[in-house]
Amino acid sequence: MDARLQRRVQRYGWDKAAVHYERTWQRHLEPAQAAMLGMAGPTPGESVLDVACGTGLVSLRAAALVAPGGSVRGTDVSNRSKPGGVAMVTPCRVGSSWSWERNRGKAMSSLAARESLERARRLFLEKPAIARRTNTAATAVWRSGLSCKISGPAAERAITDMPEPMGGKGEGSNPGWLLRAAIASCAATAIAMRAAMTGIALDALEVRVESESDASGLVGIPDVPTALDGLRMSVRIGADGVGEEQLRELVAWANENSPVNCTLRAHPEIALEVVVA
């Protein structure tokens, strides 16, 4: 086979496989990668060339070892196997080339999150019972008027209030807004977590959630639902060198797996206990 044709076939195959590579191979390759880095022994200030770097499983780990002052460059035949958070430099003739130096801070943040999530995943696979726990409680205490102070066992704090037309003073966010905020922030967090796990360093991420509601039921008018409806979520996302299809897959995964969205879709019952003071 002609060498150029063979390269095109290889590149086509790896481009197709890149989005699935880490999910299917990362766990199997990790012991060998760790042993290889141990034998190579990169130290701060050194330069590393990672040939056939793939999605950067070794590149990003090596970058953490050579910091500060070092650099990592990776080359791969696939144009879609770029390590997340590693900015593009001059493409090499056989594929693409990336450099750690131009995007160090973002990649380090992504790498730290990725390593923490990998440790948690390994632990949960070994001991599934550890993953399930009782969530910290949120307690709302009435202050005055329609205002409440919300707190948790740590530093969690918030003040809620209703706007003046609905009897409040507008001194805090209304609870419906906090629900939209929870949907938006949970989705954004899930996107960021998934990006870290798949080696994507985000450049931009903004999640906006809107809804509609009818306040008639809140003032005692019968047969008017008080539930929010018309929920809409829009996501603006960007990552240097990552294709649109891959970013859309990232958002779709987060939309299906963010805990707040999943809870709303599950319609769980709320057990009620009343204590008369």
**Along the 277 residues of the chain, how does pLDDT read in single tens digits?**
677 776 666 666 666 665 566 566 666 777 887 888 888 888 888 888 888 777 777 877 787 777 777 778 877 766 554 444 333 333 332 344 444 444 455 555 666 777 788 888 888 888 889 889 899 999 999 999 999 999 998 888 999 999 999 999 999 999 999 999 999 999 999 999 998 888 788 889 999 999 999 999 999 999 999 999 999 999 999 988 788 999 999 999 999 999 999 999 999 999 999 999 8
Alpha-carbon distance values, 179 to 14, 60, 252, 264 (Å): 42, 37, 20, 10
> What is the identity of the amino acid at 251?
V
Q: Give dist(CA 263, CA 162) in Å, integer.
A: 25
pLDDT at 205: 94
DSSP 194-259: HHHHTT---SEEEEEEEEE--GGGGGT-TT---S-EEEEEEEEEE-TT--HHHHHHHHHHHHHH-H
Quickly count: other Cβ atoms within 10 Å of residue 196's Cβ. 23
Contacts of residue 185, Cβ cutoff 8 Å, sequence gap at least 6: 207
pLDDT at 99: 47
Across 6-33, b (16+ Cβ under 10 Å) vs e yields eeeeebeebeebbbebbeeebeeeeeee
Q: Phi/psi of residue 272, each to 5°?
A: -115, 130
Q: Give dist(CA 147, CA 174) in Å, integer.
A: 9
Q: Which helix (H) or strand (E) holds 51?
A: strand 47-51
pLDDT at 11: 65
**Rg (alpha carbons) of the chain, rounded to whole number:** 24
